Structure 1
Amino acid sequence: MSHIQVRLSQDPAPKGWSEKGPLSFDQQGAHIHIGHLDSSDALRAIRKAARMLDSTGVAKAALSDSWSFEQQWAFASSFSSPKKQDAVQWADDGNSERLQQHFDALRFTRNLINRSPEDISPEVLAEEASNWLRQLGGERVQTRVTKGEALKEAGWIGIYEVGRGSERPPVLLEVDYNPTGDDKAPVATALVGKGITFDSGGYSIKGSEGMLSMKCDMGGAATVTGAMGLAIMQGLNKRVKLFLCCAENLISGHAYKLGDILTYKNGVTVEVVNTDAEGRLVLADGLMAAGESGARTIIDAATLTGAAMVAVGTEYNALFGLDKELQQQILGYAQQEAEPTWPLPLERWHQDNCPSPYADTANSRPMKGGGAGGASNAAGFLSRFVPNDGKGWAHIDLASAFNSSATSLMPAGASGQGIRTIARALLEN
């Protein structure tokens, strides 16, 4: 099937087209009318036109004439969909190789998130991430898997408890990318990803509508893996470690329960008041493992709270940090990479916002959504498990990770938003 030619135009849309949006057609192909919009509004118009073009049934598009890198990226990431991949031919300029690297990372991330939860068990998630990074990094990549009862023996109690209700064992994956060849080389950055391959909510069970899209709850794991792969393709020359906290949150006679008290490796005790607040329980282990690596910077990413979506919507990711300088750096990277990101409050006192009469803290508040400030309180919980009083640590709540249905700007399914920001942090920090 041939590609339709798609051009950018500074001219207004012809009469009869303008009221339909920024897209028009003629004998030469399709035209996206961006006029004299500023950069961010032009990218938004391109995304909207790409979705409109997809809705007409166009299968393939060739980008003609003069497009910037960001304009091509905006079109490709919005035009592509779970059923239509590799459907864009880049403009004939010097950006093609870099664009393809970005798109390969995006495609890996999206496809992993969009897969059926029956296909992606905790072990398969770890295996898929390991295999892809080995393909990119070769002998520079080493992996270690701890799973099932071995997690309990090693003290990774959060991943073990959340995942023990499933017949498919939970997994902690560690990936060591070390291009230096020196086993004693310091770790520049450690990435931590929430890898809940399916989230029923456990005994705090979700309704069917809320559970339908919960294959996406491993979006954090897929995003940090995609980011690491992108950075490797871009020439990452520093040692980086990746920790994926993988489990299925299911109900069974062996599942963890409300009222259980978990004792973590660092001595913190946690009362479970909501089994659907499981992401922070598994991330706690990953953050401690990242701390043990001695990494100068730790970044975690997770589809952690509905409260973040309420706060920033579904076009932004939410960013938290006790280290305000690092937080500002990552916000700068996000802006440079055209990935909308917004800071939400986090102070040390947020650690105390989920009190328990039986343990050092509860894993939430015993109310719907964790109550007011739920995203900040979740970040406060995580801050109990990072080294150096939070210096060098940032937490990304991936509010924009997944769309249950197509929007005017993005296709249905995983967005992949966040991989570019995190990859930039790996290269810069």
Structure 2
Amino acid sequence: MQLLAKHARPETVKTATLVLSIAEGGKLGSLAASVDQASAGALSRLLKRGDLAGKPGQTLLLHDLPGCKAERVLLVGSGKGELSDRQWRKLASATLGTLKSLAGSDATLAFDDIKVKGRQVYGKVRLLAESLLDGRYLFEQFKSEKAAASKLKKLTLLSSAEHLADSQRALQHAQAIALGMAYTRDLGNLPPNVCHPSYLAEQAKALGKTHKQLKVEILDEKDLKKLGAGAFLAVGQGSAQPPRLIALHYQGGSKDERPYALVGKGITFDTGGISLKPGLGMDEMKYDMCGAASVLGTLKAVLELQLPINLVCLLACAENMPSGHATRPGDIVTTLSGQTVEILNTDAEGRLVLCDTLTYAERFKPQAVIDIATLTGACIVALGSQVSGLMGNNDTLIKQLLKAGEAADDRAWQLPLLDEYQEQLDSPFADIANIGGPKAGTITAGCFLSRFAKNVHWAHLDIAGTAWISGGKDKGATGRPVPLLTQYLLERCKA
């Protein structure tokens, strides 16, 4: 769907559907008032009848409004005063839901006079556009009967002359982020018999072929063994699908500029291994690669925007299966860093592929390393599905990510990474155990990773609660945290 911004009076726009906001109590904003004046008070008379209360998300469709060049006018309630981000998204969803049911191929949104708390024009327009584009997402690759294609092909956002440049920039960024989110969702929603480590490697190669600034390296089992990535190899050794460490190098900045590194957990299916998970809901363990998918989605947005930045994307991809070759509880492996790990639970496998990948990331001398992983169920217990867990070893990096999450409405929450928690990982037989017991599971997982990131500025995003929606008709990957990560990189380009 095409999104445009332009400056025009709403009543003069030729469009299939003109969308106007109506505040609670039937109050008209400046744009709706302009249409009301052109229609000789038709809107005011209609609202006095009480057909639309103006609560956020309420809609009323009008046809052939006099004095207006639009074929139809959709009134959308915008509530009282300033909207919260959540209310703004609900308004976008309600608008899109009605527009998709109409026959018109285009629509024009006159929302420039709506106020959103804490947001200037750019942030307000970008959030609206991302919500509209994400709301169009469908995953029907494996359905015999596809949903009828929406007739809606173009949306135009009316803007004042002074706001036009900010609105156009917001739309450009929103469309790139939405593209990255859709790519992330597609990868996450694929079945595990299709999306395995080798498949993700092929996707990376395909990206490299279409973008000259992108260099792609694929490390197979032999390469990992030669490196000494014993923890990484231990996870995949029970599967018929071989593990892959995928490295994508984007050169958008100067050659001497140190890159930023994104590291994604890519467990394409997680049975738990010998420490087998319960069968109920295990199908959703195809989403255990959403960290890697979000890194690819973020890279997709960066490529679309041609950001002037250097970026290294590392995808730690394996399948965790039980078999006669699988790692056992009690096994001890030697990591790429030389530290030894006692594997007490084979279902704590994500940190094993990540620890070696974090060590590998050091060779690129990154300015910062961010790993993204569906790492712990404990994070869902702590934070639910609203925000991602965040930990790290550098206060400036943590604050930058928290700020980016606020700006993108893709929020994270910092958890403590204190030395006291490290003691839970003590092992009598190895340097470290891969689990720290039932208490503070998200934090001890972060503590584990921190031991492999001491030489870099590092942050860890636990997206176990935010990467996908469980159960029901809405089940599926969300595309998070692509907005947060892209916002972080956008801000680094300004620095």
For this structure pair, what is the TM-score category when the shorter chain's length is used for normalisation? 0.7 to 0.9
User: Shift of the alpha carbon at 1:44?
Assistant: 4.3
Matches within 5 A, 1:241-252: 241-252=312-323
Aligned residue type for 1:74: S
* 1:77 counterpart (113, 129, 134): 134
* 1:385 counterpart (430, 452, 465): 452
1 or 2 for the larger relative contact order (CA 8 Å, sep ≥6)?
Answer: 1
Q: Is 1:159 equivalent to 2:159 in the alignment? A: no
User: Shift of the alpha carbon at 1:132?
Assistant: 2.8
Q: Which residue of 1 aligns with 2:300?
A: 229
Q: Which residue of 2 aligns with 1:64?
A: 109
User: Shift of the alpha carbon at 1:288?
Assistant: 0.6
Answer whether contact 1:6 1:29 (CA < 8 A) is retained: yes
Q: Which residue of 1 aligns with 2:263?
A: 192
* 1:317 counterpart (376, 388, 394): 388
SS of residue matched to 1:262: strand
Answer whether contact 1:47 1:79 (CA < 8 A) is retained: no
Residues 19-43 of structure 1: CA deviation (Å, up to 9, x unaligned) = 9972334234654422224332422
**More deviation in 288-297 or 17-26?**
17-26
Residue 130 and residue 54 in structure 1: after superposition, are their counterparts in 2 closer, same or farther (change >3 A)?
farther
Q: Is 1:33 equivalent to 2:77 in the alignment? A: yes
Q: Percent identity?
A: 32
Answer whether contact 2:337 2:356 (CA < 8 A) is retained: no
User: Shift of the alpha carbon at 1:48?
Assistant: 5.8
Residues 197-223 of structure 1: CA deviation (Å, up to 9, x unaligned) = 011111111122231211111000011
User: Shift of the alpha carbon at 1:337?
Assistant: 1.4
Answer whether contact 1:63 1:88 (CA < 8 A) is retained: no
Answer whether contact 1:350 1:381 (CA < 8 A) is retained: no
User: Shift of the alpha carbon at 1:414?
Assistant: 1.0
Partners of 1:207 and 1:372 in 2: how far apart?
20
Partners of 2:106 and 2:466 in 1: how far apart?
26
SS of residue matched to 2:90: helix
**More deviation in 220-229 or 44-53?**
44-53
Residue 280 and residue 11 in structure 1: after superposition, are their counterparts in 2 closer, same or farther (change >3 A)?
same
Partners of 1:314 and 1:73 in 2: how far apart?
19
Aligned residue type for 1:125: L
Q: Is 1:10 equivalent to 2:19 in the alignment? A: no
* 2:194 counterpart (119, 142, 154): 119
**More deviation in 147-156 or 5-14?**
5-14
* 1:396 counterpart (450, 456, 461): 461
Answer whether contact 2:59 2:94 (CA < 8 A) is retained: no
Aligned residue type for 1:150: D
SS of residue matched to 1:196: strand
User: Shift of the alpha carbon at 1:359?
Assistant: 1.0
SS of residue matched to 2:447: helix
Q: Which residue of 1 aligns with 2:65?
A: none
Q: What is the total number of aligned residue pairs between the two structures?
A: 415
Residue 363 and residue 92 in structure 1: after superposition, are their counterparts in 2 closer, same or farther (change >3 A)?
same
Answer whether contact 2:18 2:110 (CA < 8 A) is retained: no
Residue 259 and residue 329 in structure 1: after superposition, are their counterparts in 2 closer, same or farther (change >3 A)?
same
User: Shift of the alpha carbon at 1:4?
Assistant: 7.2
Partners of 2:99 and 2:236 in 1: how far apart?
39
Aligned residue type for 1:104: L
TM-score (norm 2): 0.76
Unmatched 5+ residue regions in structure 2?
A: 1-14, 27-46, 63-71, 113-124, 141-146, 159-167
Partners of 1:194 and 1:424 in 2: how far apart?
20
- The Cα RMSD (Å) is 3.0
Partners of 1:74 and 1:342 in 2: how far apart?
22
* 1:23 counterpart (53, 58, 75): 58
